């Protein structure tokens, strides 16, 4: 009996402690109530922030980026094709921004400046398989691949490359082509000339795709050679 009273007393003590701390915790808000407009403004701002965060979160979830060549533009709708995949894009007058990528910089342009066969990257929210564009970037389409050099034409500065998926590329090495070779000892990249290329070397390459190439022939933007000596050392 004595113990029960003791326990009840402890529980009561804890109860008093918690209720008093809650009451103390509420003191500032009761002070704030003296200036109700500030408190309401604060609440509204918090609510606004919460909604904005939620909207941004949902948008991020539904945000998608697609790319392709412009097949057609009709009013505020645009059709893109890329390796057989077709995407429909919708422009929003108040939302959509269009830029032309110029190397490392960009220039804002209008949707009317987008032309057929342009390569565009679209970022936006997908609804009913249509992407409402937030951003449209007009850029260049690059192809990045690698393979073995099977043939070198020293007169036309052309190399034939066989990739692992059995594709044969014909690459023109031009004056503007950046040519590098991996140093097999240091693994550092070193600038080289066309004469250093050998049949059997592995090459990693970057080319620009316009969609109008014939016979898999491209002008190489960049090549990186791994000499065959690396694989026999």
Partner 1 sequence: MKKETIIAIFLGLLFGGVVAVFISLKSKDIELSTNKVIAPSKEKILSPNLTGTEIQTLELSEPVNNAIFEKDIIRFKGTAAKNSLIIIQSPIKDLVVKNIQGKFNLEFPLALGENSIKIVVYPKEKQFKPQEKFIKVYYIDSEL
Residues that bind partner 1 (CB under 8 A): 63-65, 67, 97, 99, 101, 104, 106, 121, 123, 134-135, 137, 139, 141-146, 164, 180, 182, 187-189, 204, 206, 221-222, 224, 226, 230-232
Residue number with CB closer to partner 1 (18 or 142): 142
CB 27, min distance to partner 1, A: 40
Q: Which is nearer to partner 1, 23 or 184 (CB)?
A: 184
Smallest separation, CB 172 to partner 1 (Å)? 17
Residue with smaller CB distance to partner 1, 139 or 172: 139
Q: Considering beta carbons, is residue 99 or 194 the nearer one to partner 1?
A: 99
- On whether the CB atoms of residues 70 and 116 are closer than 8 A, the answer is yes
Give the whole-angstrom CA distance, residue 115 versus residue 133: 16
Is the torsion defined by CA of 222, 100, 55, 131 positive or negative?
A: negative
Taking the alpha carbons at both ends of the chain, their separation in whole angstroms is 89
User: Which are the contacts of 109, defined by CB distance < 8 A and separation ≥ 6?
Assistant: 98, 99, 100, 138
CB of 141 to partner 1, least distance (A): 8
Closest separation between CB of residue 107 and partner 1, Å? 12
């Amino acid at each position: 009996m004595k113990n029960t009273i003791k326990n009840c007393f402890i529980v009561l003590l804890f109860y008093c402690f918690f209720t008093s701390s809650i009451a103390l915790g509420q003191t500032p808000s009761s002070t704030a109530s003296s200036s109700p407009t500030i408190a309401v403004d604060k609440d509204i701002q918090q609510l606004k922030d919460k909604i904005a965060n939620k909207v941004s979160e949902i948008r991020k979830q539904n945000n998608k980026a697609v790319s392709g060549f412009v097949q057609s533009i009709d009013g505020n709708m645009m059709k893109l094709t890329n390796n057989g995949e077709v995407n429909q894009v919708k422009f929003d007058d108040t939302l959509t921004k269009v830029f032309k990528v110029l190397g490392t910089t960009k220039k804002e342009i209008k949707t009317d400046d987008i032309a057929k066969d342009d390569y565009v990257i679209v970022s936006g929210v997908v609804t009913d398989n249509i992407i409402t564009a937030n951003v449209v970037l007009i850029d260049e389409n690059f192809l990045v691949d690698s393979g073995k050099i099977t043939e070198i034409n020293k007169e036309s500065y052309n190399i034939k490359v066989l990739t692992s998926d059995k594709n044969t590329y014909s690459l023109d090495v031009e004056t503007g082509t950046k040519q590098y070779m991996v140093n097999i000892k240091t693994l550092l990249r070193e600038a080289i000339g066309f004469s250093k290329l050998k049949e059997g070397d592995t090459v990693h390459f970057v080319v620009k795709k316009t969609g109008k190439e014939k016979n898999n022939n491209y002008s190489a933007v960049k090549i990186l050679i791994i000499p065959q000596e690396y694989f026999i050392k």
